[in-house]
DNA sequence: ATCTATGCAAAGACTTTGCATATCC
DNA sequence: GGATATGCAAAGTCTTTGCATAGAT
């Protein structure tokens, strides 16, 4: 699947691929679109939407669908958490706050560092790179804790 | 906690810190010591030891203990898996085979890449970097699959 | 003898799925 | 009207914990 680019409209893309634009789906995409560059867990999104009567399984299934369709990308946080973000069209990695979960994008990609002999015969498929830290806001409030 | 160095004996270290050297613990460390540079999930280790009558919870608790004590390090694989490896004393990252789970160490660390302005005010605590791919052995057996 | 570690079993947390009904095109 | 998506509920999977007993020093 080709990933969503910055200028594509996720809703149009879904329709063009034969999926229906339902209420829950629109609300979900709306949150993701108004928060480009931020990551959310399924639980985060459910919390924001549950007052509308949406079910967790609906959020879950839609995020999986959007990931399969290359509309959101999946980020693995520090403690086995899975977060989702609207695809931006350019490859990047993240800073993730251990305290509040806020994320920022970084453009440096470590794959450029790996030299030929370091491949040791492996055929690369993908990679993960995340920096865990404390965001400026949480630092201001003198957050201190041992990382999980 | 300071991490185990290459020349330290994990068993002696445990004793010196007041932990008992029990049968299960010795067997567990034995596998890890004879496989330096390889990562195992708790389940992997349990499979190898269950014929001895060991319980999964014992494996689990010991791995957590060893991690807390800086004797093993925790590696997060591609599909939310947690693997453990005896600490080598030097910081490194891994190539992980999607098919068989085999790992290799790489010494390049992406943190050196990140420039001042990319921190965006974050205070780094840690980072994850793993390359997912197909190991030479699995490639030989023409393994092909969509990554998870 | 004392205190820790283990086995066993059960509880938690989170992920994933089945199915009847509601919703979209 | 036909097919997909949702709500609801339950099943799965993996992680984590409680507690009585066995085991280490």
Q: Give the bases of strand C that a protein CB approaches within 7 Å.
A: 4-10, 15-18, 23-25
- Return the HEC string of chain A: CCCCCCCCCHHHHHHHCCCCCCHHHHHHHHHHHCCCCCCEEHHHHHHHHHHHCCCHHHHHHHHHHHHHCCCEEEEECCCCCEEEEECCCCCCEEEEECCCCCEEEECCCHHHHCCHHHHCCCEEEEEEEEEEEECHHHHHCCCCCCCC
- Cα B98 to Cα B76: distance, rounded to the nearest angstrom: 13
What value, to the nearest 5°, has the Cα angle with vertex B120 and ends A44 and A93?
60
Tokens of A22: 């339902």
* Of residues A82, A106, A128, nearest to B128 (C-beta): A128
Strands B40-41 and B82-86: what pairing? antiparallel
B28-85 residue pLDDT tens: 999 999 998 888 999 999 999 999 999 999 999 999 999 999 999 988 766 677 899 9
Cβ count within 10 A of residue A101: 18
**How close A52 gets to chain B, by Cα (Å)?**
30
- Cα B20 to Cα A36: distance, rounded to the nearest angstrom: 52
Residues in reach of strand C, judged by a CB distance below 7 angstroms, are A 15, 20-23, 42-43, 56-57, 60-61, 64, 81-82; B 18-20, 22-25, 53-55, 57-58, 61-62
Nearest CA-CA partner of A65 in A84, A90, A50 = A84
Q: Are A76 and A82 in contact (CB under 8 A)?
A: yes
pLDDT at position B120, please? 92
B122 contacts in chain A (CB < 8 Å): 95, 97, 104, 131, 133-136
Q: Which DSSP state fits B5? A: P
A98-143 residue pLDDT tens: 777 778 889 889 998 888 888 999 998 888 888 888 889 888 876 5
Q: Do A147 and B125 make contact, defined as CB atoms within 8 angstroms?
A: yes
| Mean pLDDT in residue range A10-34 | 96
Mutation target for A interface from B74, B122, B141: give the one with most A CBs within 10 A: B122
Q: Are B138 and B145 in contact (CB under 8 A)?
A: no
Burial of residue A61, with CB atoms counted within 10 A of its CB: 0-12 exposed, 13-18 middle, 19 or more buried:
middle
Q: Do A124 and B132 make contact, defined as CB atoms within 8 angstroms?
A: yes
Q: Do B133 and A122 make contact, defined as CB atoms within 8 angstroms?
A: yes
**How close B52 gets to chain A, by Cα (Å)?**
30
B94-112 residue pLDDT tens: 888 877 777 888 988 999 8
pTM attached to this predicted model: 0.82
């Amino acid at each position: 699947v080709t990933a969503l680019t910055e200028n594509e409209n996720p809703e149009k893309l879904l329709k063009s691929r034969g999926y229906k634009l339902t209420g829950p789906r629109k609300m979900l995409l709306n949150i993701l679109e108004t928060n480009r560059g931020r990551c959310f867990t399924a639980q985060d999104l459910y919390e924001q939407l549950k007052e509308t009567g949406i079910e967790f399984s609906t959020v879950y299934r839609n995020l999986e669908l959007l990931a399969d369709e290359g509309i959101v990308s999946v980020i693995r946080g520090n403690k086995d958490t899975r977060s989702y973000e609207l695809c931006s069209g350019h490859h990047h990695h993240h800073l993730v706050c251990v305290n509040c979960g806020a994320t920022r994008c970084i453009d440096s990609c470590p794959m450029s560092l790996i030299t030929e002999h370091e491949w040791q015969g492996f055929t690369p498929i993908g990679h993960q790179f995340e920096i865990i830290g404390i965001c400026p806001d949480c630092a201001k409030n003198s957050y201190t804790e041992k990382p999980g």
